[in-house]
Amino acid sequence: MKNMKRIPALTCSAIFAVAALCLGAARADVPNPTLTGPIAQNVPPGDPSHDYIFFTDQSVGDFSYVEEEFFIEGTANTYATPPLATGTVTSSGNPYKTRLVVRRPTNSQRFNGTVILEWQNVTAGYDIDASWIGGNAKHFMREGYAWVGVSAQRVGVHQAGTGLRAWSPVRYGSLDVTAGGTLVSDQLSYDIFSQAAQAVMHPVGVDPLPGFDRKRILASGASQSASRLTIYYNSIEPLTGIFDGYLLLVGGSTVRGDLGIPVFKVQSETEASFAAAGLTTLQADSDIHRLWQVAGSAHADRAFLNGVVANASRDAIPTTPPGLCNAPEGSEVRLYHVASRAHDLLVRWVKTGTPPPTAPRIRTVSPTPPTTIARDALGLALGGIQHPDIAAPTALNTGQNGGPAFCVLFGSHVPFDEATLEELYPRRNDYVTEVLFSTLDNLVRGYIGIRDAVVVVTEALQSDVGK
């Protein structure tokens, strides 16, 4: 019986190994662009000339990391991208020039072998390194990942007022992802992303990761970028074979099941509510697909909002001011704890063929249309991954909100009053015990990592709840 149980795992690993060999041969079909850099950062962040890296992260030195920017240019294809099917080239030879932001260990010996290539999110009208700024940065640096952000879309480069060219003409004025204004619907974005991966993994000329032993590359994107990567996976990946795995954060739709390349989706309660209302569809787990939903979390949570506001304020970029939404914005359920763990498990999946554990879906209820999220007496979502922030709650955190601009994405956070806290946790030990058991449950199930588990328990021990 033991031998019989080993067969699926061995078969799965063999499939991944064969796929990797096949994909390695296909990578040669992606042309190598020209890289220039690192581009000098000539003034300190916040200087009015803006001759520095947009949304630069000044904390990298604290983790013995370095941040560098490169310009990348070449000619790119456009594609027809039919749903759930391999794409076809519709034109070629279209010139482009854009940028890469590289954050890597200062010492190559600290590199863990994995490159995360993130499709910069542009929904707000400018480039946002969503997974990095949303809370995963410390995990990436502690674990030795190399993170590379790609400015692939027109809005991030060309948007009036907030795009890179307008934000700093002196630094970014030569960038162009529209083939001189002839292609304005992001037709070049897919090939730009492919060529960025090629430049990182198989450099010719300038090497953005000098001396680094690169073993695998993950495609990453959040929200709109996750949707773009879904199209990329279904239509472009079969033509290029350049990525080893995909991490789709707070977004992403159905992916095809015949490519053998793992796709890991981490979604918030916000996306679960969209699916419950019939606005999106949920894909079942399979040998190549995992979906985790985190109860109480939001599409753009407090960690993300804090990061964006801090950088936008420094870089003179307008953001949605607080207090406009129907409820206090920004769920404080730490989605990034789960996303950090998902990155590590995706690496294991790629390396060994061992898929991540499954997770329960957030529950829904349909007393009358439309279907909605099922909630307990406190208003907290039922089902899904129950992070200690919601399993041992001190506030009402949800993935839902309303109001102008992007309020629908921010979720909400309303602290419980003293009477509610006293009813939930009559003694201090009651709260600490709840947090401890919930944390251990998440740790054992594989939904969070040990570092984040220690943080959660330490914070509970230091809190005033139940005193």
CB distance 263 to 241 below 8 Å? no
Q: What angle do CA 131, 35, 199 make, to 5 degrees?
A: 60
One digit per residue, pLDDT tens: the chain, 467 residues?
323 222 233 344 344 434 433 333 334 489 999 999 999 999 999 999 999 999 999 999 999 999 999 999 999 999 999 999 999 999 999 999 999 999 999 999 999 999 999 999 999 999 999 999 999 999 999 999 999 999 999 999 999 999 999 999 999 999 999 999 999 999 999 999 999 999 999 999 999 999 999 999 999 999 999 999 999 999 999 999 999 999 999 999 999 999 999 999 999 999 999 999 888 989 999 999 999 999 999 999 999 999 999 999 999 998 877 889 999 999 999 999 999 999 999 999 999 999 999 999 999 998 766 789 999 999 999 999 999 999 999 999 999 999 998 999 999 999 999 999 999 999 989 999 999 999 999 999 999 999 999 999 999 999 999 77
Question: 3-state SS string over the chain?
Answer: CHHHHHHHHHHHHHHHHHHHHHHHHHHHHCCCCEEECCCCCCCCCCCCCCCCCCCCCCCHHHHCEEEEEEEEEEEEEEEECCCCCCCEEEEEEEEEEEEEEEEEECCHHHCCCEEEEEECECCCCCCECHHHHHHHHHHHHHHCCEEEEECCCHHHHHCCCCCHHHHCHHHHCCCECCCCCCCCCCCCHHHHHHHHHHHHHCCCCCCCCCCCCCCEEEEEEECHHHHHHHHHHHHHHHHHCCCCEEEEECCCCCCCCCCCCCEEEEEEHHHHHHHHCCCCCCCCCCCCEEEEEECCCCCCCHHHHHHHHHHHHHCCCCCCCCCCCCCCECCCCCHHHHHHHHHHHHHHHHHHCCCCCCCCCECEECCCCCCEECECCCCCECECECCHHHHCCCEEEECCCCCCCCHHHHCEEEECCHHHHHHHCCCHHHHHHHHHHHHHHHHHHCCCCHHHHHHHHHHHHHCCCCC
Within a 10 A sphere around the Cβ of 86, how many other Cβ atoms?
16
